[in-house]
């Protein structure tokens, strides 16, 4: 039954479609969209405050019209045909793809170091350098000498030297030197 209804409704909708469309197209003035209440209230308020506004909008401004009649646009550029103007493939690729396709090298400390360091600050490279210098020769590279060279506060340098150390390798002593099979005596006791 649903198929029959859809066939009938489709035929009814298609009936006289061209005449209905022509009737709507041939209307002189299209119907404007309905305005919101807030827009209508604003329009009424403006018309009460400025009643001459509609007359001013409907009147032709002669001075402006005269100015527009004397405006001419001239072009000095030659007309190029679209069929002959085609950018080269190299120029298209220049903008589309990066020119250097090599892999970006990693930075030494994992980030880009600044070129200029402000006073009272140091880079990671400088910090590693003065920490390792202090570890090799603490008498020459004490906190006062480091703070003077790198323009840092002495208490800050003391804190850095106290809490940060370069990589140190600690190997535990080998307690099981002479035994071929360590802990075999304990395993034998457990088995018995």
Percentage of the chain exceeding pLDDT 70: 80
Mean pLDDT of the chain: 82
Distance CA 142, CA 147 (A): 9
Average pLDDT over residues 176-182: 60
pLDDT at 128 over 80: yes
Q: pLDDT category, 68, cuts 50, 70, 90?
A: very high
Alpha-carbon distance of 129 to 122, in angstroms, equals 11
Higher pLDDT, 113 or 187: 113
What average pLDDT does the segment 130-152 reach? 93
Mean pLDDT of 154-175: 85
pLDDT tens per residue across span 79-123 = 666 555 555 555 555 567 767 778 878 888 788 888 899 999 999
Mean pLDDT of 122-133: 93
Q: Is 16 left (phi over 0), alpha (psi -120 to 50) or beta?
A: left
Nearest to 125 by CA among 107, 138, 139: 107
- The predicted-structure confidence for 9-39, as pLDDT tens digits, reads as follows 888 787 888 888 888 888 888 778 888 999 9
Q: Which of 152, 154, 144, 106 is nearest to 126 (CA)?
A: 152
Q: How far apart are CA 125 and CA 143, in angstroms?
A: 17
Find tokens 């395993």 and name the residue: 187
- 178: pLDDT strictly greater than 70: no
Q: For helices 154-163 and 124-136, what crossing angle results, to 10°?
A: 70
């Amino acid at each position: 039954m649903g198929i029959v209804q859809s066939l009938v409704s489709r035929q009814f909708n298609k009936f006289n479609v061209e005449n209905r469309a022509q009737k709507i197209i041939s209307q002189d003035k299209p119907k404007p969209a309905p305005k919101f209440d807030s827009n209508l209230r604003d329009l009424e308020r403006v018309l009460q405050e400025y009643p001459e506004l509609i007359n001013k909008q409907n009147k032709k401004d002669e001075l402006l019209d005269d100015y527009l009649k004397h405006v001419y646009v001239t072009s000095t550029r030659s007309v190029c045909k679209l069929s002959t103007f085609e950018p080269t493939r190299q120029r298209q690729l220049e903008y589309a793809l990066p020119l250097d396709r090599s892999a970006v090298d990693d930075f030494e400390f994992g980030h880009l170091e600044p070129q200029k360091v402000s006073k009272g600050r140091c880079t990671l490279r400088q910090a590693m350098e003065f920490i390792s210098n202090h570890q090799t020769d603490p008498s020459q590279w004490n906190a006062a000498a480091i703070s003077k060279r790198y323009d840092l506060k002495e208490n800050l340098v003391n804190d850095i030297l106290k809490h940060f150390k370069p990589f140190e390798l600690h190997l535990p002593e080998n307690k099981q030197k002479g035994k071929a099979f360590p802990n075999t005596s304990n395993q034998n006791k457990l088995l018995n």
